[in-house]
Amino acid sequence: MRAEFKEDCRYSDEIREDTRDVFYKWLKRYGWDIPELDEDVAAKLILTEMRKELEALEAKHCGGQCDTEPPSCPN
């Protein structure tokens, strides 16, 4: 197994957790600034901005779409 795949297996849970943390950080910040916050609308706006940046990173690092699926990780 490639070293990069081993690292992905090792860190995939942390990457997903960090991604969720960033999302909820911004949702909380919107709530500070907007007392009558509609969380659904705020979530859509934040996710749209996150998706735009992920697409820019995919264009830079993957030629448009990253679809690399590592082999099954050992448990």
Give 5-36 pLDDT, tens digit per residue.
Answer: 888 889 989 999 999 999 999 999 999 988 89
Q: Which domain holds residue 47?
A: 3-59
Residues in the chain: 75
Q: Report the distance separating Cα 75 and Cα 16, nearest Å.
A: 18
How far is it, in rounded angstroms, from Cα 30 to Cα 40? 12
Quote the percentage of the chain above a pLDDT of 70: 99
- Identity (one letter) of the amino acid at 44? K
Residue 69 lies in a domain: no
Query: Could you tell me if residue 21 is inside a domain?
Result: yes
Residue labelled with tokens 């993957």: 62
In a domain, 68, yes or no: no
Is the residue at 46 inside a domain?
yes
Global pTM reads 0.81
